[in-house]
Amino acid sequence: MKNIAVFASGEGTNFDVIAEACEQGVISAKVVLMVCDKPAAKVVEKAAQRGIDSFVFSPKDYSSKADYEREIVRLLDEKNVDLVCLAGYMRIVSDVLLSSYEGKMINIHPSLLPAFKGAHAVEQAIAYGVKVFGITIHWVDASLDGGKIIAQKAFYYDGNDAEEVHRIGQKIEHTMYVEVIDKLLKNNYS
């Protein structure tokens, strides 16, 4: 059985879907840790409800990013984590995490990368006037929403309702993230 950690900063719908897929045996792994940098985020409650250990912190309580990332690496090592899944974790990771977990850390992003990186991808895509939106899952490196692409799915939408695009994208994210995690764990990260 493999061990997964999920990092999130907000709602945690992807966290929930991944945890459920593990509980149901759809993914042959266990979510052993949820990491969150926003104590008030909904994902914190979701992890507690599922009885999943979490590390919830405020970056301002640490003197540097390296400081809290060292603590995260300690926990990931302690729990023998095989795969780290960023699911709406709104921070760029530094060398501290990457030196131990690069090649074992993936991210999901609501655009067809390399277009529209960052925290407002859908809103930027609508402002640009694109008609084909999408979701990308990629390996994590030190850049913002960079790293080699693992999977992408596109959908056509002609309009300017960002919430609608988020709704369509979220459904795709949920099935896609579970499929990709399962495949990576089964195929030894390829």
Cβ proximity to ligand GAR: between 70 and 91 the closer is 91
Instruction: Give whichever of 3 and 124 is closer to ligand GAR, judged by the CB atom.
Output: 124
Rounded Cα distance, 184 and 190, in Å: 6
Q: How far is the CB of 109 from ligand GAR (least distance, A)?
A: 5
| 178 vs 105: CA distance, rounded Å | 15
Q: How far is the CB of 63 from ligand GAR (least distance, A)?
A: 26
CA separation for the pair 47, 25 (Å, rounded): 18
Eight-state DSSP code of residue 134: E
Interface residues with ligand GAR (CB under 6 A) are 8, 10-15, 87-88, 108-110, 119, 121, 145, 173
Cα separations (Å) of 4 from 15, 43, 168, 184?
11, 16, 26, 12
Q: Which is nearer to ligand GAR, 2 or 10 (CB)?
A: 10
Three-state secondary-structure class, residue 88: coil
SS3 114: coil
Q: Which residues are catalytic?
A: 109
Residue 39 Cα distances to 16, 44, 61, 108, angstroms = 17, 7, 12, 21
Least Å from the CB of residue 162 to ligand GAR: 12
Q: Which is nearer to ligand GAR, 14 or 100 (CB)?
A: 14
**Minimum distance of ligand GAR from residue 188's CB (angstroms):** 25
Q: To the nearest 10°, the Cα dihedral for 130, 92, 105, 96?
A: 160
User: Which pair of tokens denotes residue 48?
Assistant: 């507690």
